[in-house]
């Protein structure tokens, strides 16, 4: 241990092992697991996107680097998409193509904060955001969401958490792990706070297209007065089931892009070029696949809620308005330690879930369930959970 302390930075040593990856590792040791623990689309990438990538390879377009901001034609298509679907008026000099949303978020945090700066994270939140702040030597400040109100933003508590050290507020909407679609009014209140306290808002909009019922996704960068205060991160991973392609992008003021690139280039140089051609085909091609994914997730959300309704003494849940994730509270005594509860469920019921503690201390006594799976997987998992209890 002493030797490790000498060889590795405090920055990396303070970071705990990922509970998500740990559950995946444990799940591999068990046969025929009903898997509800990974937030990745299980449908394959649409065929026309795969074909475009193959053609780009065959035409010899993918052997070199692209410009570090990304292919011009891809950034042009992104500008059109942001205007059409997010009501963001952008130019290509405001776009940086990144290695998934993750690398964009990491570069945004690196560019926005100095060591010791505080970043407010409404929580429970996506654990990677917490780690990104820690790796940048920042201080994550976790402000609880209002669970009984559907895991909504507590803007008053966020306001109270702002100090002279606060530099940014970072969040995902729709949310991982709760599935909440933050309401436009609450997001406008965050915008007001950011302007009043000169803060950066770093948004993760990975699940922007998976929104149900009468919820609406709202992008803060659509507010012209926020131009200098928002870095918005997007991805192809969820929208087009392109997890392994590692391709996403961010939008920020054109004066910020050169600063963010100073963090992007040492980690990535540029996003994978073959994936940039695939992303171009995704944006230019038919969009029916996105609607199909969304319809499927709506059906699987309803099924999962129905199955949870049959277990009212064991779980209490808030119905997710978006994403493909939900975050039920575990009511039984042993759920107080979500890690041992989820491990037991895996070993004894062969159902893989993610312990809520992975999403910050306010996530304890919960577990995250993914419904981006076939209906049979949900039924199999819940049949087993019912037998287990």
Ligand X SMILES: Cc1ncc(COP(=O)(O)O)c(C=O)c1O
Residues in contact with ligand X by the rule CB under 6 A: 39, 100-102, 126, 172, 176, 204, 206, 235, 237, 243, 248
CB of 39 to ligand X, least distance (A): 4
Q: How far apart are CA 290 and CA 275, in angstroms?
A: 18
CB of 270 to ligand X, least distance (A): 15
Whichever of 210 and 335 has its CB closer to ligand X, that residue is 210
Whichever of 325 and 330 has its CB closer to ligand X, that residue is 325
Contact 332, 314 (CB under 8 A): yes
- Residue 59: Cβ within 10 Å count: 9
CB of 233 to ligand X, least distance (A): 8
Whichever of 128 and 137 has its CB closer to ligand X, that residue is 128
Residue 115's contacts (CB-CB under 8 Å, 6 or more residues apart) are: 136, 137, 138
Q: What is the edge-to-edge ordering of all strands in the sheet holding 354-355? A: 325-326, 367-370, 354-355
Whichever of 167 and 246 has its CB closer to ligand X, that residue is 246
Task: Return the closest-CA partner of residue 161 out of 184, 190, 135, 133.
Answer: 190
CB of 89 to ligand X, least distance (A): 24
CB of 320 to ligand X, least distance (A): 13
Q: Which residues pair with 251 in a beta bridge?
A: 95, 232
CB of 388 to ligand X, least distance (A): 27
Largest CA distance in the chain: 60
3-state secondary structure of 197: helix
Contact 386, 311 (CB under 8 A): yes
Contact 294, 87 (CB under 8 A): no
CB of 100 to ligand X, least distance (A): 2
Whichever of 248 and 335 has its CB closer to ligand X, that residue is 248
Whichever of 248 and 272 has its CB closer to ligand X, that residue is 248
DSSP character at residue 169: E
CB of 312 to ligand X, least distance (A): 28
CB of 128 to ligand X, least distance (A): 7
CB of 17 to ligand X, least distance (A): 17
Residue 135's contacts (CB-CB under 8 Å, 6 or more residues apart) are: 11, 12, 15, 106, 109
Contact 90, 251 (CB under 8 A): yes
> Alpha-carbon torsion 326, 360, 362, 366, what sign?
positive
Q: How far apart are the first and last CA of the chain?
A: 41
Q: What's the full length of the chain, in residues?
A: 389
Whichever of 207 and 315 has its CB closer to ligand X, that residue is 207
Whichever of 234 and 341 has its CB closer to ligand X, that residue is 234
Whichever of 123 and 176 has its CB closer to ligand X, that residue is 176
Distances (CA, A) of 277 to 7, 240, 299: 40, 14, 32
Whichever of 210 and 317 has its CB closer to ligand X, that residue is 210
Alpha helices in 87-150 (DSSP H): 100-112, 127-135
Task: Return the closest-CA partner of residue 326 out of 312, 308, 343.
Answer: 308
Residue nearest to ligand X (CB): 100
In the 3-class helix/strand/coil scheme, how is 290-342 assigned residue by residue?
A: HHHHHHHHHHHHHHHHHHHHCCCCCEECCCCCECCEECCEECCHHHHCHHHHH
């Amino acid at each position: 241990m002493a030797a490790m302390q000498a060889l590795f930075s405090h920055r990396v040593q303070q970071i705990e092992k990922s509970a998500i990856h740990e559950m995946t590792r444990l799940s591999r040791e068990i046969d025929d697991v009903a898997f509800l623990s990974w937030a990745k689309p299980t449908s394959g990438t649409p065929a026309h996107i795969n074909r475009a990538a193959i053609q780009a390879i065959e035409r010899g377009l993918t052997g070199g680097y692209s410009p570090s901001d990304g292919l011009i034609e891809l950034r042009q298509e992104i500008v059109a998409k942001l205007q059409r679907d997010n009501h963001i008026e952008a130019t290509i000099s405001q776009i940086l193509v990144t290695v998934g949303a993750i690398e964009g978020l990491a570069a945004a945090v690196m560019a926005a904060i100095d060591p010791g700066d505080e970043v407010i994270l409404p929580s429970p939140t996506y654990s990677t955001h917490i780690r990104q702040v820690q790796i940048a030597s920042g201080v994550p400040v976790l402000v609880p969401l209002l669970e009984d109100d559907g895991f909504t933003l507590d803007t008053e508590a966020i306001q109270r958490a702002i100090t002279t050290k606060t530099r940014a507020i970072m969040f995902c909407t729709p949310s991982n792990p709760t599935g909440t679609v933050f309401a436009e009014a609450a997001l406008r209140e965050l915008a007001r706070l950011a302007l009043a306290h000169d803060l950066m808002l770093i948004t993760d909009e990975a699940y922007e297209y998976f929104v149900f019922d009468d919820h609406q996704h709202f992008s803060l960068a659509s507010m012209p007065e926020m131009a200098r205060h928002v870095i918005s991160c997007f991805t192809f991973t969820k929208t087009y089931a392109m997890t392994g392609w590692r391709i996403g992008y961010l939008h920020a003021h054109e004066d910020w892009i050169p600063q963010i690139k100073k963090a992007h280039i040492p980690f990535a140089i540029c996003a994978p070029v073959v994936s940039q051609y695939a992303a171009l085909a995704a944006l230019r091609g038919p969009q029916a696949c996105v609607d199909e994914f969304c319809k499927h997730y709506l059906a699987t959300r309803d099924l999962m809620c129905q199955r949870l309704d049959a277990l009212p003494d064991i779980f209490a849940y808030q119905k997710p308005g978006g994403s493909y994730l939900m975050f039920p509270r575990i009511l039984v005594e042993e759920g107080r330690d979500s890690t041992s509860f989820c491990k037991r469920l895996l070993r004894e019921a062969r159902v893989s879930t993610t312990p809520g503690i992975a999403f910050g201390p306010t996530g304890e006594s919960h577990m995250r369930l993914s419904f981006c799976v076939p209906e049979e997987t949900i039924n199999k998992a819940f049949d087993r959970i019912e037998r287990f209890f």
